[in-house]
Amino acid sequence: MSPPAVAVSVDLVLLTLRSGQLCVLLTGRAGADVWTLPGGFVDGDTDLDTAAARQLTDQAGVTGTGHLEQLRTYGGPHRGPRISGVSVAYLALLPDLLATVSAAAGRVCWRPVDELTTTAERVLAPDHQRIVADGVERARAKLEYTPLAAAFCEDEFTLADLRRVYEAAWGVALDPPNFRRKVLSTPGFVVPCGRRTSPRGGGRPAELYSRGAATALHPPLLRRSV
Amino acid sequence: MSPPAVAVSVDLVLLTLRSGQLCVLLTGRAGADVWTLPGGFVDGDTDLDTAAARQLTDQAGVTGTGHLEQLRTYGGPHRGPRISGVSVAYLALLPDLLATVSAAAGRVCWRPVDELTTTAERVLAPDHQRIVADGVERARAKLEYTPLAAAFCEDEFTLADLRRVYEAAWGVALDPPNFRRKVLSTPGFVVPCGRRTSPRGGGRPAELYSRGAATALHPPLLRRSV
DNA sequence: ACAAAAGTGTTGTCAATACACCCATGT
DNA sequence: ACATGGGTGTATTGACAACACTTTTGT
């Protein structure tokens, strides 16, 4: 008996920070009214991580570096009563710089994730809405115990930039001195560049840092509320 | 153009605690020399969680309650140069009681996970070995910030039982008084039954607890070493 | 030009808390 | 022998004050 043949797609949840808001990239097919996550079908002979990276450049038009990890796999007739198959979702965290790269094909737009989850307006198909929610929750959780917040920043960033990532993602205000102490006392989180920002709009120039080598934060940077 | 047809299987990493060691369930097909993870093919019309739960009872013979969650999806020609397809791995955490249930079909055995990862002997196919390693790592990590350690225990358990789960999974010794304080001060982790164990082999009878309603631990129970 | 004010980043202090380690007691 | 309760010193954290550096504003 041969195994059942299933259609497998890879879908991407691309998150970035735009003007202090966590945003997700949506693609709109020409003529259609509904927005979808970028993605496409894959065959069984390609590594999934490779396929996802390819979708990132082809479908979303992102070229530079960033974080990409598998999120979750959704199966069954989730996209509607007729359409079945398996969807392997990936989560990408990008700085705004990369996010501005134009898409290779079709229209794209960035939507604040709060809009999608709170509003009654249906911008996204229900299954894609759930995938986005899962991706956002994963990102929020991973900020606690990994240095992935730096993936939202440029290659060189200030501690205030990094702090604003946490504040936007968690929706809380963090004490700058305490945040600074915590980050600098966590080995491998950031490494100082030895330079400072050219002043942007007043205030003391901040020191510049780049991403460290750590893959996990010990101890973690816990959010107070659940 | 129609999407490529792919074979999709659901594979299970069943973990339990047997005599102080973290063990994984392997199945051996009759006649074959190699052990594999329990699993089977799925079609595109069934919810993956449902399919995994069915595999749990059919393939592994587990009937009672326990924890089951999706682990990760592996794609490409990972099982060998010829065999391709997508494998959706699930992670199950079970008490030893359920683990003793005989499999419905074929031979099964429990192997300590340390044996599989450290020994040079090849008990498992390389891809399945990686899936087990990922599952063990997920379990170890989740013990920190979720009450899932209780999933390894019976419905009623002592704090020493719970502590031994952490000690076996992490390979460290924990201070009983500190562990007790930490668990009891975490709301929703365990709820006291008001009874005590009948003394087993000397020593003061311990109080019995059952699983609480919490889904996450705040603050987490961190392991010291990385 | 100069001084004052406001904005931003950095350094320092202190109390509350959490934790590791150890001792004592009950069964 | 083991579970439980308590105590103490150290490390981490949260709240807040003080300082440093820059731009903007007012006279």
Enumerate residues 6+ apart whose C-beta is below 8 A from A26: A35, A36, A37, A38, A108, A109, A110, A111, A123, A124
CATH 3.90.79.10 fits A6-144, yes or no: yes
Whole-angstrom distance, CA of residue A18 vs CA of residue B196: 57
Report, as an integer, the average pLDDT of A200-218. 92
pLDDT digits (tens, 9 = 90+) for A11-31: 999 999 999 999 999 988 766
Chain length of chain B: 226
- pLDDT for B60: 82
List of residues 6+ apart from A3 with CB closer than 8 A: B7, B8, B9, B41, B85
Domain with CATH 3.90.79.10 in chain B: 6-144
What is chain A's mean pLDDT, rounded?
90
A161 pLDDT more than 90: yes
Contact call for B7 and A3, based on CB within 8 A: yes
Residue A58 C-alpha, separation from nearest chain B C-alpha, in angstroms: 17
Select from A75, A88, A226 the Cβ nearest to the Cβ of B46.
Answer: A75
Mean pLDDT of B139-144: 96
Which pLDDT band, with edges at 50, 70 and 90, does B123 fall under?
A: confident
At A64-90, the pLDDT tens digits run: 789 999 999 999 887 777 788 999 999
Model pLDDT, residue A126: 87
Q: Which residue from A8, A145, A219 is facing B86, i.e. has the nearest CB?
A: A8
Residues of chain A with CATH 1.10.10.10: 155-225
Phi then psi dihedrals of residue A27, to 5 deg: -115, 145
pTM comes to 0.94
B155-225: CATH, from 3.40.50.2000, 3.30.110.40, 2.40.160.20, 1.10.10.10? 1.10.10.10
pLDDT at residue B140, as a whole number: 96
User: Is pLDDT of A3 > 80?
Assistant: yes
Q: How far is the CA of B166 from the C1' of D9 (A)?
A: 27
pLDDT digits (tens, 9 = 90+) for B158-209: 999 999 999 999 999 999 999 999 999 999 999 999 999 887 667 789 999 9
- Identify the DSSP state of B150: G
Tell me which chain B residues have a C-beta less than 8 angstroms from the C-beta of A226.
216, 218
Residues in chain B with CB shorter than 8 Å from the CB of A86 are 6, 8, 44, 48, 86, 88
Q: Kindly list the residues from chain B whose CB atom is less than 8 angstroms away from the CB atom of residue A74.
A: 48
* Distance from CA(A205) to C1'(C2), angstroms, rounded: 23
Residue A163: its H or E element: helix A159-170
B214–A contact, CB cutoff 8 A: no
Interface test with B, best of A84, A86, A224 (most B CBs within 10 A): A86
By the CB < 8 Å criterion, does B191 face chain A?
Answer: no
A81 Cβ within 7 A of any nucleic strand C atom: no
